[in-house]
Amino acid sequence: MESGRWAVLAGIGMVLVTGLWAPAQAQPVPYARPVVAPLPKPASIVLSPQQAQDLRQALDGAEVHGLSPADYRVVSRDDAALVAATLRYARAVRTGRLKASGFLKDWGLRPAAYDPAPELARAVADNSVKAWLDGLPPPYPGYEALQRGLKQYRKTQAEGGWRPLPAVDMAVGASGPLVAALRARLVLEDPRTPALAVVPPPPPGTVPVAGALPAGTALYDEALGEAVKRAQRRFGLQPTGGLNLATRTALNVPVERRVEQIQANMERWRWLPRTLPAHRIQVNIAAAVLAVFENDAPTLTMRAVTGRPGHETPMLQSSIHSIVLNPPWNVPSGIAAAELWPKGRAYLASAGFRIIPTEGGGSRLQQAPGPDSALGLIKFDFDNPYAVYLHDTPSKGRFASYSRLASHGCVRLEKPLALARHVMAGDAYWTPEQIDAVIAEGKTVRADLARPIDVFLLYWTGFMTPDGAMSFRADPYGWDSLLMQRIAAQGVAA
């Protein structure tokens, strides 16, 4: 388990890894007033010199949004060409570059349809082009933080990046040139990394001690160990303070890959609605954490267990409409065939499974409700085409792990009772005492929420903490790489 200091940081970190740790109700910069006259078609838009300059300046600075300025560069002085490039740019910044055909089935969070042409025409007519451009990006602090991170890592990339560390484990007490290499690597991402500790020269006239380290030898001291812990936390690893395989693997990810990872996360930010509900639940799938926001402020955070690779938790937006107390588990046929039927009927009976006949002479499995059920004592239902939900679990030990991608796709919760009390708050019947009483009775009961709450399952593998440090996860599903590959393969949209 974590130290007391890490436990405090973890509470903050669980909010950060959701990606939306600051108020989400920010609005785009207003850029227009109602107009009565018909707007010109894009091909016939005539720009003033200042408007053309504003558009060219935005296209030339496309890299601040993780885009390539070359994809939007206009050589000619023709207004029509500049307008066409601007429309491509506006779509890319507002709703992303991936065509609808490029989305995976599990990428259920899709951007709304967007046509920038009427907006640009109105902005030209109102002489508010710059304000319109400023209002295109996602209006969220998390996106702006990634912009700062992108600038930082591109600077490191331009300066040559970093060298991979050799395959040697180290801990506090080690010494030698590899310690100096470790410190040099850490400081590239963490300016708080302390100065290198070295063996001081002996006082004049001191008799050399046999076996003593030479003066100037680099030392792996406690201060360097703390810097390693900070790096481990940024990568979602157990903060031991020692350089092990997992830490070395994360540190050895090339800077080019980190740049790509930031770009992929910026792209997914563009898939979100322009305004998020002030009362919502968010799960960061990659980091396996959940946060509840009330009035746009985090009020409850907890660890979660999300889908392991091969059983990915999908990205989606929905609304929790009810909770089930003492839920039975209707086992999906795939899980039953692969993992349960082979264990035999004796095991199934001992684990509380019933064999239920189905039409056509088949059968399915259902596990009885109770504390040993795979769903635990509480399930949170929301409509989605993936048959996933949030639920309790009898396997509590996994929450102590820093690797929590282990489910079949649903989201297991560390504090399901606390979440149930939160979503039922204000309900005259479903008081905390009533919830406890029904659970204790063991009867399966569905409780509808008087106030459904929006839920977002998101995939954030890169985000910035308030101290300005970028945190990364290991892209467990490979969705960062796949997204960027698909964008590159489709080329620049005409």
Contacts of 322 by beta carbon, 8 Å cutoff, 6+ apart: 381, 446, 447, 448, 449
144 and 9 in a common domain: yes
The CA distance from 326 to 328, in Å, is 7
The CA distance from 456 to 280, in Å, is 8
Higher model confidence: residue 1 or residue 144? 144
166 and 35 in a common domain: no
The residue ranges of DSSP E strands in 326-394, in sequence order, are 329-330, 353-357, 363-367, 378-382, 390-391
| DSSP letters for 110-143 | -PPP---HHHHHHHHHTT-HHHHHHTSS---HHH
Q: What percent of the chain has pLDDT over 90?
A: 76
Residues 145-168 have pLDDT tens digits of: 999 999 999 999 999 999 999 999
150 and 8 in a common domain: yes
Asked if the model's pLDDT at residue 300 lies above 60, the reply is: yes
The CA distance from 269 to 111, in Å, is 9
Asked if the model's pLDDT at residue 42 lies above 80, the reply is: no
pLDDT of residue 232: 97
Residue-range definition of the domain harbouring residue 335: 331-365
What CATH number is given to the structural domain containing 244?
Answer: 1.10.101.10
9 and 151 in a common domain: yes
Asked if the model's pLDDT at residue 11 lies above 80, the reply is: no
180 and 241 in a common domain: yes
124 and 26 in a common domain: yes
Asked if the model's pLDDT at residue 7 lies above 60, the reply is: no
Q: State the average pLDDT over residues 287-310.
A: 94
The residue ranges of DSSP E strands in 339-400, in sequence order, are 353-357, 363-367, 378-382, 390-391
Q: Which residues of 48-79 are buried (b: 16+ CB within 10 A; e: fewer)?
A: eeebbebbbebbeebeebbbeeebbebeeeeb
8 and 139 in a common domain: yes
139 and 52 in a common domain: yes
Q: What is the dihedral of CA 412, 415, 418, 424, to 10 degrees?
A: 0
Q: State the average pLDDT over residues 367-385.
A: 94
Per-residue confidence band for 353, with pLDDT thresholds at 50, 70 and 90: confident
The CA distance from 398 to 288, in Å, is 11
Is position 434 within any domain? no
151 and 129 in a common domain: yes
pLDDT of residue 43: 64
**Mean pLDDT score of the chain, rounded to an integer?**
90
Per-residue confidence band for 15, with pLDDT thresholds at 50, 70 and 90: low
Asked if the model's pLDDT at residue 440 lies above 50, the reply is: yes
Domain end marker among 155, 190, 223: 155
Is position 186 within any domain? yes
Is position 475 within any domain? no
Terminus-to-terminus CA distance in the chain, angstroms? 53
pTM metric for this prediction: 0.89
Higher model confidence: residue 297 or residue 51? 51
Give the bridge partners for 324, in sequence order: 379, 446
* Number of domains into which the chain is organized: 3
Higher model confidence: residue 457 or residue 16? 457
Q: Residue 478: helix, strand or coil by DSSP?
A: coil
Q: State the average pLDDT over residues 341-368.
A: 87
Domain end marker among 365, 382, 416: 365
Per-residue confidence band for 1, with pLDDT thresholds at 50, 70 and 90: very low
147 and 193 in a common domain: no
Domain end marker among 191, 221, 253: 253
Q: State the average pLDDT over residues 193-207.
A: 91
Contacts of 153 by beta carbon, 8 Å cutoff, 6+ apart: 255, 258, 259, 262, 470
Is position 26 within any domain? yes
Is position 84 within any domain? yes
Say how many CA atoms lie within 13 Å of 340 toward its Cβ. Answer: 22
- Determine whether 20 is exposed, middle or buried from the number of CB atoms within 10 Å of its CB (0-12, 13-18, 19+): buried
Is position 292 within any domain? no
Per-residue confidence band for 206, with pLDDT thresholds at 50, 70 and 90: confident
pLDDT of residue 173: 96
Asked if the model's pLDDT at residue 8 lies above 50, the reply is: no
Asked if the model's pLDDT at residue 84 lies above 50, the reply is: yes
134 and 29 in a common domain: yes
**Angle CA(461)–CA(320)–CA(386) in degrees, nearest 5?**
60
The CA distance from 132 to 122, in Å, is 9
Q: Which residue reads 């297991």 in tokens? A: 412
pLDDT of residue 339: 86
pLDDT of residue 282: 97
Is position 296 within any domain? no
**Angle CA(463)–CA(420)–CA(452) in degrees, nearest 5?**
80
55 and 174 in a common domain: no
Is position 52 within any domain? yes
The CA distance from 398 to 307, in Å, is 13
pLDDT of residue 40: 56
Asked if the model's pLDDT at residue 118 lies above 90, the reply is: yes
pLDDT of residue 27: 43
Q: Which residue reads 């889908």 in tokens? A: 307
8-17, 58-67, 239-248, range with the lowest pLDDT: 8-17
